[in-house]
Amino acid sequence: MQKFWNDQVSWGLAGIYLLGAIAVLAVVIVFVTYAIYFERKVIGWMQYRRGPNRTGPLGLLQTVADVAKLLIKEDTIPAKADKALFILAPALAFVPSFLVLAIIPYGLNLQFADLNVGFLYYVALSGITTIAIVIGGWSSNNKYALLGGMRSAAQMISYEVPLVLSVVGIAMMTESLNLRDIVIHQEGYFWHWNFIPQIIGFAVFVVAAISELNRTPFDLPEAESELVAGYHVEYSGFRFAFFMLTEYIYVYAIACLATILFLGGWNPPIPQLDFIPGLLWFALKFAFIVFFLFWIRATLPRLRVDQLMGMAWKVLLPLAIANIFLTALGIEWWG
């Protein structure tokens, strides 16, 4: 894709872009379908259950059936909802989630847009989804949805700060925010990967990322035991499916990002293993992160709102800032 970057835009190129986007969409949708399946299976096994096993062989078509059901469901809009915003919110949530995928480098030459400010681009766009969630919660005209939306706004804004700051150390080491450069910088043995020199940053990043994803133990916006379902309580059918899709695309994006920023992207753990394609290494690391997220979900209880906020501002933020200083000192002393 990169080689078309500086060419004149023509119909042919537009077609290629479109095909590329459709390909990514297809990959993402297949991922989401089987991430949900995987999640249900893994959590099922962790809980002495079997997970889905009825629809299709081994239950592999369960998510497909679920999505089909969602798509043919009656589209209900609450009578007192703000119709325009209610309809807008799922789309507004989904679009940025898909846009952030453009900057993910899966391999040395497998990337759609090689931005100099790759990471900032991600953070900027994912913030828009927060707005969409608040809009969805507000426009539903439901108190639970409103509380969920407000929690979501507070939480995502709070956690974006440590999320960004945790990556600053890497930017300092790499001297770039370009995701591709960051991966290239980590070439070599696995102890050259960023998660070892940036262990504090990595910890902060993981916690903040789980929170950004609204997943357990930070799934307060949709805490079903308090707020029933949170901001999407009034949504059904394909609008609800859009919210779900968004959520899983962010899982995909964050897992990719963690792989790239801290786990060396497509680099093998030892250079001798480089006969295995980089894409496979990428996929392995990515799968580990995704599994980790599901694992956490099956293990931990949920935090309380005030504790969540306290953690963002009182624990993660100082840690992230300390990490920046330590990184600076490290660069100063050891180059």
Partner 1 sequence: MIRTEELLLNVGPQHPSTHGVFRIIVKLDGEIIKEATPVMGYLHRGTEKLAEDLNFTQIIPYTDRMDYVSAMTNNYVLVHAVEKMMGLEVPERAEFLRLIVMELQRVASHMVWWGTYLLDIGALSPFLYAFNDRERILQLFNELCGARLTYNYMRVGGVKWDAPEGWIAKVKEFVRSMHDKLAEYDDLASGNEILLSRIKGVGAYDAQTAIDYGLSGANLRSTGVKWDLRKNEPYSLYSRFEFDVPVGRNGDCYDRYLVRMEEMRQSLRILEQALEQFPEGGETMGKVPRVIRPPGGEIYVRIESPRGEIGCYIVSKGKAEPFRLKFRRPSFVNLQILPKLLVGESMTNLVTILGGIDIVLGEVDC
205-264 binders of partner 1 (CB under 8 A): 216-217, 219-220, 223-228
Q: Is 73 in the site for partner 1 (CB under 8 A)?
A: no
CB of 148 to partner 1, least distance (A): 11
Q: Is 296 in the site for partner 1 (CB under 8 A)?
A: no
Name the token pair of 317.
Answer: 């933020």
Q: Is 313 in the site for partner 1 (CB under 8 A)?
A: no
Q: Is 274 in the site for partner 1 (CB under 8 A)?
A: no
Q: Is 80 in the site for partner 1 (CB under 8 A)?
A: no
**Interacting residue with partner 1 among 24, 29, 43, 161 (CB under 8 A):** 43
Q: Is 113 in the site for partner 1 (CB under 8 A)?
A: no
Q: Is 50 in the site for partner 1 (CB under 8 A)?
A: no
**Interacting residue with partner 1 among 25, 124, 300, 328 (CB under 8 A):** 300
Taking residue 235's Cβ as centre, other Cβ atoms within 10 Å add up to 25
Residues that bind partner 1 (rule: CB under 8 A) add up to a total of: 29
Q: Quick one: which segment of 15-23, 96-104, 186-194, 293-301 binds partner 1 (CB under 8 A)?
A: 293-301
Task: Kindly tell me which of 192 and 302 has the beta carbon lying closer to partner 1.
Answer: 302
Task: Kindly tell me which of 127 and 217 has the beta carbon lying closer to partner 1.
Answer: 217
Q: Is 10 in the site for partner 1 (CB under 8 A)?
A: no
Q: Quick one: which segment of 28-36, 41-49, 174-182, 197-205 binds partner 1 (CB under 8 A)?
A: 41-49
Binding positions for partner 1, rule: CB under 8 A: 43, 46-49, 143-144, 147, 216-217, 219-220, 223-228, 297-307
